[in-house]
Amino acid sequence: MPRMTAADAAVAILAREGVTCAFGVPGAAINPLYAALRRAGGIDHVLARHVEGASHMAEGYTRTRAGNIGVCIGTSGPAGTDMVTGLYSASADSIPILCITGQAPVARLHKEEFQAVDISAIAGPVTKMAVTVLEAAQVPGTFQKAFHLMRSGRPGPVLIDLPFDVQMAEIEFDVETYAPLPAYRPAATREQAAKALDMLQAAATPVIVAGGGIINADASALLVELAEILGVPVVPTLMGWGAIPDDHRLMAGMAGLQTAHQYGNATMLASDFVLGIGNRWANRHTGGLDVYRRGRTFVHVDIEPTQIGRVFPPDYGIVSDAGAALELLVELARERRDAGRLRDYAAWVEDCVKRKHTMLRRTHFDDVPIKPQRVYEEMNLAFGRDTRYVSTIGLSQIAGGQFLHVFKPRHWINAGQAGPLGWTLPAALGVCMADPAATVVALSGDYDFQFMLEEMAVGAQFHLPYVHVVVNNSYLGLIRQSQRGFDMDYCVQLSFENINTPGLGGYGVDHVKVAEGLGCKALRVERPADLQPAFDQAKKLMAEFRVPVLVEVLLERVTNISMGTELDNVVEFEELATLDEHAPTAIALLD
């Protein structure tokens, strides 16, 4: 039997499981694993500037392509605690990433050794498994179990903590006969799918709510096919955005309190039946449950049994992988169509289409300082259908959800539930590693950008080109809006006089200089007419220098973006589009 160190065995298993890239920061307690990576070759490594950044890079990498599992690596102590935010974000959105940390030798774990912390206990609540391996011979089985767990059922992250002496110990391990364990995914039965279709066909105005589980299952084509066979509108959630193209006639718009369309909310409220597939009934989607549920029958399909009934009891629940359920639903729908047994929903679909024509939000404004709506309009014009957008939280992300256009799955890459500030930049770098040929556009407010802006240096060093649009009002608008109910405006001031940069007075940080100092290219835009030339120039700089390009847009200070407390109580701060030129890119999508 071949003998090798446990660290060498771990690296060999990573390769066998399909890992080709890792993100991390070396350090004393994890150096044996890094030495094994060097000896083995074949796994690229991207050096992060912050270990939390490495975890978000791994997330972006996983989220970009079906089957990817991002790997992040750090040393003992604070490296692991820094990565907890990434583990939380991945867990919340059902994203598999593998976090590997170094640890003090086993005999010293209880002696308060330097940088020794019980990271498995800390990470346990936000992972599918978090374990400190105490016996070297258990390393292969632990890694095999980790990949099995990450891929089985509801996907999610795993943390493996490796004491220094465990990594160094020699074990017997035959990598040539190693095989990944088959993943387990529950599947709906034909009877369950038939009952769900029966309930849908009994409704007069049904909709399908498409969640992120459809994206995870790589089942977007099946969703579109099912919607087309049934002639039923689709309401994607934020995590399911892109599962049906924005210009598809049956794309009814997103519903919710923030990242939603007015016509999407109206269609949701007009429906009498909801088939939710791979979704969580997240509170920013539903708002108050009394309004959301009133007058509607619900069927919920989800891969995780305990998700059924977690937020509210559906009228019928099915535990199933979204792809497996959709395969059956499509098969049954075809049979009923061919037998002439499908209800005609043409009039209902026409009502939904009319709402899209009459309830578009306005995007075209010529104001100076620039209104954010105009920024997203110009982004739609500048970047094509294949663009992968990356964003996390804030008014910038909310407005992006309302005004950008997405046409493919995994082309809106978003930290949906956790929404950690700083996530966007490192996640975009992970997307670039996963799809080097893609046009990647990150979207941040100034505060999100400032949280982890040091990671721009990673993009410069490793030639990971993307465009980072920073909409800057130095105002912290979302935080301020949350404080309005407390009648205060406290500790949320980002702006200050920057005496070194003419024209930037009161906007504070000179992001252009910071980006350039980190080895990247940068542009600043102050007028609407300059947005398109700036985006064009950014694409040229990105192609020429193969580095990230910052486009900072100076916005109006007080930015109010439509949001509310209920689906029927969303505050609109601007008039709706009454002429085609008020929302040109949205109008262009309509039939």
Residues designated catalytic: 25, 51, 421, 476, 479
Q: Percent helix, strand and coil across the chain, each rounded to 5?
A: 45, 15, 40
Beta strands in 478-583 (DSSP E): 521-525, 549-554, 563-564, 570-571
Q: Which ranges of 154-203 would DSSP assign to H, the alpha helix?
A: 164-168, 190-201
206 neighbors 275 (Cβ within 8 angstroms): yes
- Extract the tokens encoding 299: 């069927």
Instruction: Name the nearest CA neighbour of 51 among 30, 94, 82, 88.
Output: 82
CA atoms within 13 A on the CB side of 49: 17
Amino acid letter for position 81? T
Alpha carbons 187 and 3: distance in angstroms, whole number:
41
Q: Which ranges of 177-261 would DSSP assign to H, the alpha helix?
A: 190-201, 212-216, 220-230
Contacting residues for 469 by C-beta, under 8 A, at least 6 apart: 375, 379, 441, 442, 443, 444, 551, 553
* Burial class of 437 by CB neighbour count within 10 A (0 to 12, 13 to 18, 19+): exposed
Q: Which ranges of 462-505 would DSSP assign to H, the alpha helix?
A: 477-483
Contacting residues for 103 by C-beta, under 8 A, at least 6 apart: 29, 76, 109, 116, 119, 132, 161, 162, 163, 164, 166
192 neighbors 27 (Cβ within 8 angstroms): no
Say what angle helices 31-40 and 6-16 make with each other, to 10 degrees. 50
Beta strands in 232-369 (DSSP E): 234-236, 273-277, 297-302, 316-319
* Burial class of 354 by CB neighbour count within 10 A (0 to 12, 13 to 18, 19+): exposed
Alpha carbons 64 and 425: distance in angstroms, whole number:
15
DSSP secondary structure code for residue 360 in this structure: P
Dihedral Cα 389, 392, 395, 397, nearest 10 deg: 20
Query: Beta strands 170-172 and 412-414: pairing type?
Result: unpaired
DSSP secondary structure code for residue 128 in this structure: S
Cα 66 → chain centroid: 13
